[in-house]
Structure 1
Amino acid sequence: MLIQLALGAAIIIMTIIVQVVFLGTLAAFFGNIKHWVSHGRRNLKNIIVMVFSVLWLVIGITINTWIWAFTFLIIDEFQNIENALYFAIASFTTLGYGDLLMSENWRILGSLSAVNGLIVFGLNTAFLVELMISTWGKTRIRQ
């Protein structure tokens, strides 16, 4: 059990670092183009900003699920990349179909993957809400 908790904590730290790097890069990028967004066709530019942001963050989420998939392969929990990736996506998104299960030796690690997904999706949601407020303004959301 302690090995699962230690490995899970290490993977969670790694994936949070990945996602924070993606968030920081995005924040810096939009800090540089804030002037461009605030002039001209603001609605169209705001849409472009949000679509680009979501797609960028999905890349970070994809990398994180691959980290979990490779972890599951390294510990020999799944025999092929498809099953490992499928389980990683299902648990990271907290969907958890239940058609693939981890052995008793590693099932806590699968739960930690779901906890990790909640944290990463929460970070992304907070960032996107702040981005919407800063691009569209507070009054735009209330209308």
Structure 2
Amino acid sequence: MIYSLLIGSIIIIISVVVQAIGNVYWLKKIKKKNKHYTSKFALTLLVSSFLFFSFLHFIQSLLWALTYMLIPEINNVFAGFTEAWYFSMITFTSLGYGDLTLPPTWHLISGIEAINGIMLIGWSTAMMYSLIQQIFKNLYSN
């Protein structure tokens, strides 16, 4: 249990740093382009933002999958890396099909990943909501 908490905490910290750096990068990038809002610009901004935040979550779930592959007691649960990433994605999103499970001594780490995923996806949702408010304000405030 201690190892689950320790490893999970480290991966959470790394995931949060990835999210923070990604958000700062994205905000700087869209601020440079934020000169004149048109419907086409708003559409492009929304789609590209969604894809960028999805990419961040792919990277974060990939990080968890790599972690699972590095832990010998967990590694043998998966047929390969693709299956570890699949497990990570369904855990990160809290979908949790239950078709793959970790050994009892490592159950806690999957719960830690789920909490991490919920929080980071919520963070991205908040960013998208803020972006939609900004677009609405700029397109329809006249």
TM-score by length of 2: 0.91
* Cα-to-partner distance string for 1:57-87 (whole Å, 9 max, x where unaligned): 1111111011000000000213320221111
In structure 2, the partner of 1:106 is 106
1:70 counterpart (40, 48, 66): 66
Map residues 1-143 of structure 1 onto 2, 5 A cutoff: 1-35=1-35, 37-38=36-37, 42-76=38-72, 77-79=74-76, 80-137=80-137
- Once the two structures are superposed, residues 81-130 of structure 1 have per-residue CA deviations (whole angstroms, 9 ceiling, x without a partner) of 02211110010010000000000111100110100000110110111111
Structure 1 pair 109–44 and aligned structure 2 pair: CA distance change class (3 A): same
Change (3 A) 1:17 1:110: same
Shift of 1:138: 8.5
Three-state SS of the structure 2 residue aligned to 1:137 is helix
Where do 5+ consecutive residues of structure 2 fail to align?
Answer: none
Q: Which amino acid letter does the alignment assign opposite residue 15 of structure 1?
A: S
> Is the 2:39–2:139 Cα contact (8 Å) retained in structure 1?
no
Q: Please tell me the residue identity of whatever aligns with 2:43.
A: I
Q: CA deviation at 1:6?
A: 1.1
Are the structure 2 counterparts of residues 138 and 122 from structure 1 closer, same or farther at C-alpha, using a change threshold of 3 Å?
farther
1:101 counterpart SS class: coil
Equivalents in 2 of 1:33, 1:16: separation in Å?
26
Amino acid of the structure 2 residue aligned with 1:62 = F
- Distance in 2, matches of 1:116 and 1:24, equals 19
> Structure 1-normalised TM-score?
0.90
Amino acid at match of 2:34: K
Structure 1: which 4+ aligned runs deviate by more than 3 Å?
Answer: none
Q: What is the aligned-residue RMSD (CA, Å)? A: 1.5
Number of residue equivalences: 136
Tell me the percent identity. 26
